[in-house]
């Protein structure tokens, strides 16, 4: 089989990642060898999109060269092999997050995964779905709760669901250190709460939210929990069963996989109670000129030709991450994240958002440079071959809360060395002088 299946148990982790091993890891990533603007590429934008190891690129090419066919239809050999590869990929990705295969739905990206949930709830509200879909109906008096630190992808779909159903949208505010105000969460989450949607790790602040605490608050009120796991699944060990979330969304291209694929995890009983979102081919049992009946999850939610090569490549990415070890990746990125924050805090005129140095955060840092717009900071860094993200990072309300319009963000992954971080810090130290706002 072309797809490397998930090992049942992770190999015992060898010693922690270090620069020497990271240098070996870098050799697996072709793009990291190219120069940018005459400098070696320092890629610190993995929070937006990660790079691909050769094994991922090869898996996709191997699929197209050897097995390309439509899945779940057709009786010929290629179709059978394609279907097997596609479903083995689902098992691999499910295993990676502690789920069962039938609990993972392929989507185009995490945004679509969250929209799938909101539109399934909408359709249930409109009376569609099996009898058990009643549990998803929303109306006036019901409340949907998110947080002030959400990416727009886990914010706007809920605002829109509230508008469509008459439910009320509420949110948990953040504190000045970039954490959720849990005492407020206890007030906001109440008997009217039907959904709690929040991010596992903030793409701006770097904060890791206390998932279990929030899940318990929500479940005590009978609310569903939807977790945005885009910044956690790629970077730390995540077990959706242990977290006990009802739904979780993550995206392939942030975890060494290709663009165009994401996944929605949902508890099987919930998925099978939900009406579909997108409808059409490959998701039905019987169709008449009047109506249709639907397959169980995951096929119920996978209308039309699927993201087959992307799924196969994503499984190769998951395999790469597992072979390296998520515990080790998390420990290394924690180290890099602390180095980033401590270094930035030491530079005059820099304000880092989120937890202070020494407090837990994922391996990224977003910051403001006094007197210099983030676009100019990004341009200055790009000139030195350093790739960072600038702007509001799809989190306008959070930036407003911080009193900022935009920030510059450096985000690390398993292929970044401490030299990358230091080159970045050196460059940032020269920004204000270049733009004439510091001596």
Partner 1 sequence: MSSDLEQLYQQIILDHARARHGSGLAEAPAGDRVGESHMLNPTCGDEITLRASVHDAGDLMTISGISWEGQGCSISMASASVLHDMGTGLRRQDLLELVDHFREVMRSRGALEADEEILGDAAAFSGVARYPARVKCAMLAWVALEEALLAAG
Based on the shown chain and the rule CB under 8 A, indicate whether residue 405 belongs to the binding site for partner 1.
Answer: yes
309 closest CA partner among 71, 117, 29: 71
How many Cβ atoms from other residues are within 10 Å of residue 239's Cβ? 11
Select from 221, 391, 418, 422 the one that contacts partner 1 (CB under 8 A). 391
Binding residues for partner 1, rule CB under 8 A, total 20
CB of 412 to partner 1, least distance (A): 23
- 3-state per-residue secondary structure call for 15-66: CCCCHHHHHHHHCCCHHHHCEECCEECEECECCCCCCCCHHHHHHHHHHHHH
Helices (H) and strands (E) in the chain, counts: 15, 17
List the one residue from 40, 58, 80, 434 that touches partner 1 (CB under 8 A). Answer: 434
Tell me whether residue 121 or residue 380 sits nearer to partner 1 (CB atom): 380
Does 259 interact with partner 1 (rule: CB under 8 A)?
no
Cα–Cα distance, 36 to 318 (Å, whole number): 28
Tokens of residue 208, six digits: 């890791």
8 Å CB contact between 188 and 171: yes
- Please, which residues have CB within 8 angstroms of residue 202's CB and are 6 or more apart in sequence? 149, 178, 209, 231, 354, 398
Rounded Cα gap, residues 254 and 180, in angstroms: 24
Site track 100-129 with partner 1 (rule: CB under 8 A), x = hit: ------------------------------
State in angstroms the smallest separation of the CB of 10 from partner 1.
Answer: 40
Please select the residue that binds partner 1; options are 184, 376, 401, 418, rule is CB under 8 A: 376
The site string for partner 1 over 136-175 (x = CB under 8 A, - otherwise) reads ----------------------------------------
Query: From the CB of 406, what's the least distance to partner 1, in Å?
Result: 5
Among 374, 411, 412, 416, binds partner 1 (CB under 8 A): 374
Q: Is residue 37 part of the contact set for partner 1 (CB under 8 A)?
A: yes
> Binding partner 1 by CB under 8 A: which of 13, 383, 418, 422?
383
Candidate residues 406, 408, 412, 416; the one interacting with partner 1 per rule CB under 8 A: 406
Q: Does 392 bind partner 1 (CB under 8 A)?
A: yes
Number of Cβ within a 10 Å radius of residue 51: 19
CB of residue 41 vs partner 1: minimum separation in angstroms? 16
Integer Cα distance of 3 and 414 in angstroms: 22
Among 70, 387, 394, 404, the active-site one is: 394
> Is residue 370 part of the contact set for partner 1 (CB under 8 A)?
no
**Residue choice 128, 359, 435, 438 for contact with partner 1 (CB under 8 A):** 435
Q: Smallest gap, in angstroms, from Cβ of residue 98 to partner 1?
A: 36
Active-site residue flag, 230: no
Report how far apart the first and last C-alpha atoms of the chain are (Å, whole number).
Answer: 62
Long-range pairs for 390-395 at CB < 8 Å and ≥24 separation?
393/47, 393/151, 393/203, 393/204, 393/366, 394/151, 394/152, 394/153, 394/203, 395/149, 395/150, 395/151, 395/152, 395/203, 395/204
Q: Does the footprint of partner 1 cover residue 375 (CB under 8 A)?
A: yes
Residues near partner 1, by CB under 8 A:
37-38, 372-376, 379-380, 383, 390-392, 396, 399, 405-406, 434-436
Active site members: 394
């Amino acid at each position: 089989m072309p797809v490397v299946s998930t090992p049942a148990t992770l190999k015992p982790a060898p010693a922690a990642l270090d620069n020497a091993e990271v240098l070996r890891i870098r050799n697996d990533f072709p793009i990291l060898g190219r120069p940018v603007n005459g400098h070696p590429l320092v890629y610190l934008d993995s929070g937006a999109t990660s790079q691909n190891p050769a094994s991922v690129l090869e898996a996709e090419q191997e699929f197209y060269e050897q097995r390309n066919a439509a899945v779940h239809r057709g009786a010929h050999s290629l179709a059978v092999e394609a279907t097997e590869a596609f479903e083995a990929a689902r098992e691999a990705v499910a295993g990676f997050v502690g789920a069962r295969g039938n609990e993972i739905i392929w989507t185009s990206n995490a945004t679509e995964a969250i929209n799938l949930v909101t539109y399934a709830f909408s359709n249930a509200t409109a009376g569609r779905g099996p009898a058990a879909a009643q549990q998803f109906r929303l109306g006036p008096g019901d409340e949907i709760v998110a947080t002030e630190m959400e990416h727009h992808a886990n914010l706007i779909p809920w605002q829109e669901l509230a508008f469509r159903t008459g439910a009320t949208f509420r949110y948990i505010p953040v504190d000045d250190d970039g954490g959720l105000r849990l005492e407020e969460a206890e007030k906001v989450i109440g008997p009217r709460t039907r959904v709690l949607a929040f991010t596992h790790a903030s793409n701006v602040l770097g904060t890791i939210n206390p998932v279990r605490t929030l899940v318990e608050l929500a479940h005590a009120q009978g609310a569903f929990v939807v977790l945005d796991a885009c910044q956690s699944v790629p970077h730390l060990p995540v077990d959706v069963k242990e977290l006990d979330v009802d739904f979780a969304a993550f995206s392939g291209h942030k975890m060494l996989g290709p663009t165009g694929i994401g996944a929605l995890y949902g508890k099987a009983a919930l998925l099978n109670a939900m009406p579909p979102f997108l409808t059409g081919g490959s998701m039905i049992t019987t169709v008449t000129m009047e109506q249709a009946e639907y397959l169980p999850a995951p096929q119920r939610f996978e209308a039309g030709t699927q993201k087959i090569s992307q799924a196969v490549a994503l499984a190769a990415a998951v395999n790469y991450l597992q072979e390296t070890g998520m515990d080790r990746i998390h420990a290394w990125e924690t180290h890099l994240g602390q180095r980033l924050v401590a270094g930035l805090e030491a530079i005059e005129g820099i304000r880092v958002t989120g937890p202070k140095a020494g407090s837990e955060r994922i391996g990224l840092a977003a910051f403001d440079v006094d007197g210099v717009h983030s676009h100019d900071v990004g341009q200055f860094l790009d000139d030195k071959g350093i790739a960072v993200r600038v702007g509001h990072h799809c989190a306008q309300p959070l930036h407003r809360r911080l009193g900022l319009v935009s920030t510059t963000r450096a985000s690390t992954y398993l292929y970044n060395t401490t030299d990358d971080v230091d080159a970045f810090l050196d460059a940032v130290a020269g920004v204000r002088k270049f733009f004439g706002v510091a001596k």
